[in-house]
Amino acid sequence: MKLRRLTFLFSMCVALPLSAGDRPEELAQSNPPARLPYAVPAPDAPALAALGSFAVGTQMLAIDAPDRVLLASTGVSRGVRTIKARIWYPSDAAAHAPRTAFGHALPKRGGAGEQFIIPSLAAEGALPIKAQRFPLVVVSHGYGGWDTFMTWLSENLATKGYVVVAIDHADQRVSDPAEFPVSFGNVLINRAADIRAVITALTSRAADASDPIGSVMDAGNIGLVGYSMGGFGVLGASGLDYDMASPVMAQLPAPAQSAILESQASGKPIAERIKGVVALAPFGGSPATRVWSQPALAAYAKPLLIIGGEHDDVVDTKNGVSWIFEGMMRNQRHFLLFQNARHNIGGNPPPPEADGDFSTREYFAEPVWRTERINAINQHFITAFLDLHLKRDEGKRAYLDVTPQVAGDGQWPLAPLQNVGGTPASASEPGHWRGFQRRWALGLEMKIGQPATQ
């Protein structure tokens, strides 16, 4: 069976985190953390990272996807796949309502990992706001992630008037390299299909005026956000069809390839409804792990924001992520690059429980950048992008179409002994990146692409 040949990918993906263990929710609820939720940006954050005005509620969802192809060491089968997800939404929760917290544990090679708590802004089970609908944003984590892996974004967006659904793809835990082909093969099959299934279920609920959650969703304005393998998934779900002759897809067994092709074909109406896509460090572009063809990239027309690390050694920014961006010709697109960053640009910051253990800290942290700073910058640009394309707020375009290309080349001079002040750049400072404080637009690049003229 061709699946065995996927072992060559393991040497290129060893930096990807191990799959997460079961969530110790009881730990989170009985020991609420005395620290700010990750959705709350620091005072040095750029302007659009700031929280919005809405209180936030949250609930768990479960969606059954029938007749899915399942890879196992014993062969290929079909069955029902249950997709779990967590939803955040603008809520009527009172200011004094208790906020929840989420527990998790990272498994480690050779034993169980440290349990930790993820603080939250949200009130569990709070009622959604009535008589108002908000754009829907679906979030897909990286390989081995989970639904609350990106609360820095999901909860931040909910305060700004978005319904945000983060999928838990339940990637198979890998403790032995020999298990990797099965685990990763199932990710290739399920990422985009899971996203389509969640959108189908939620848009169906949006058509039911009596459904409290459905009644707050604007099913006509849908955005996707994906990190790493989630980036692979959101690009595929939004109409960038995978190439079954590509180096990765060609190694899947025939039933798996057929399942992907069937999902792509049946998902065309869903792709047409997507208004904008954010791909953080997306997998699938580097020569040895390529999953798309050049013609497919050239035909892709969705507005796209790519975010990457200059020295990403997992998905290969230079030869992979850049290849995706440069191969597109029909869409508005932006590529935000963190200079001197690697792959960890999409998750929550390292929890305090990781302070004494390098392997756990390495899962979350960057060698050079503070994760809190990365998240604040991403909150700023993702808000600008989604507001522009899902809420049609043209005023946010200036935050994306920044000049100069390299942030550190910007000009906003200081007089001798003048205090920086902390005021973010506005239209009055055209030589400095919009929304960044004086001297604080540094270590970033922005590439901008427009549809080619005919």
- Using a 10 angstrom Cβ sphere, with 0-12 exposed, 13-18 middle and 19 or more buried, the burial of residue 423 is exposed
End-to-end CA distance of the chain: 45
Percent of residues, the chain, with pLDDT higher than 90: 79
* Residue pair 114/100 in contact by the 8 Å Cβ criterion: no
How much is the pTM?
A: 0.92
pLDDT tens readout for residues 87-97? 999 998 877 78
Which residues make Cβ contacts (< 8 Å) with residue 375, sequence separation at least 6?
38, 41, 152, 153, 348, 349
pLDDT digits (tens, 9 = 90+) for 109-127: 655 667 889 999 999 999 9
Q: What's the rounded Cα separation, in Å, for the pair 257 and 76?
A: 12
pLDDT for 159 beyond 50: yes
Closest to 242 measured CA to CA, from 220, 264, 226? 264
Distance CA 131, CA 331 (A): 34
Res 108: pLDDT:
66
Give the per-residue pLDDT at 454. 52
The per-residue pLDDT of the chain, averaged, comes to 90
Mean pLDDT on 54-70:
95
Q: Examine residue 420 and state whether it is found in any structural domain, yes or no.
A: no
Q: Is the pLDDT of residue 325 over 50?
A: yes
Report, as an integer, the average pLDDT of 215-220: 94
What is the pLDDT at residue 115? 82
- Whether the predicted pLDDT of 302 surpasses 90: yes
Instruction: Please indicate, yes or no, if residue 214 is contained in any of the structural domains.
Output: yes
Q: How many separate domains does the chain show?
A: 1
Residue 10 is predicted with a pLDDT of 32
How far is Cα 193 from Cα 234, in angstroms, rounded to an integer? Answer: 10
Convert the pLDDT of each residue in 37-46 to its tens digit. 999 999 999 9
Q: What is the mean pLDDT of residues 413-434?
A: 92
In whole angstroms, how far apart are CA 359 and each of 144, 346, 375?
A: 15, 18, 21
CA distance 331 to 333: 6
Residue 206 amino acid letter:
A
Checking if the pLDDT of 444 tops 70, the result is yes
pLDDT at 213 over 70: yes
Q: Which domain holds residue 131?
A: 2-410+426-449
Residue 226 lies in a domain: yes
Question: Looking at the domain assignment, is residue 109 inside a domain?
Answer: yes
Mean pLDDT on 177-204 = 94
415 inside domain: no
* Peptide bond before residue 404 is cis, with ω within 30 degrees of 0: yes
CA dist 401 → 79, 156, 346, 427 (Å): 46, 23, 22, 12
Is there a domain that residue 294 lies in? yes
164 phi, psi to nearest 5 deg: -120, 125
Tokens at 42, concatenated: 């620091």
pLDDT in tens, 277-298: 999 999 999 999 999 999 999 9
Is residue 19 over pLDDT 50?
Answer: no
On whether residue 388 sits in a domain, the answer given is: yes
* For residue 3, pLDDT beyond 90: no
pLDDT in tens, 22-38: 333 443 444 444 689 99
C-beta of residue 177 within 8 angstroms of C-beta of residue 400: no
| pLDDT of amino acid 52 | 97
The CATH number of the domain holding residue 354 is 3.40.50.1820
- Residues 251-260: tens digit of each pLDDT: 999 999 999 9
Please enumerate in sequence order all residues whose Cβ is within 8 A of that of 71, keeping only pairs 6 or more positions apart, or say none: 3, 182, 185, 186, 189, 253, 256
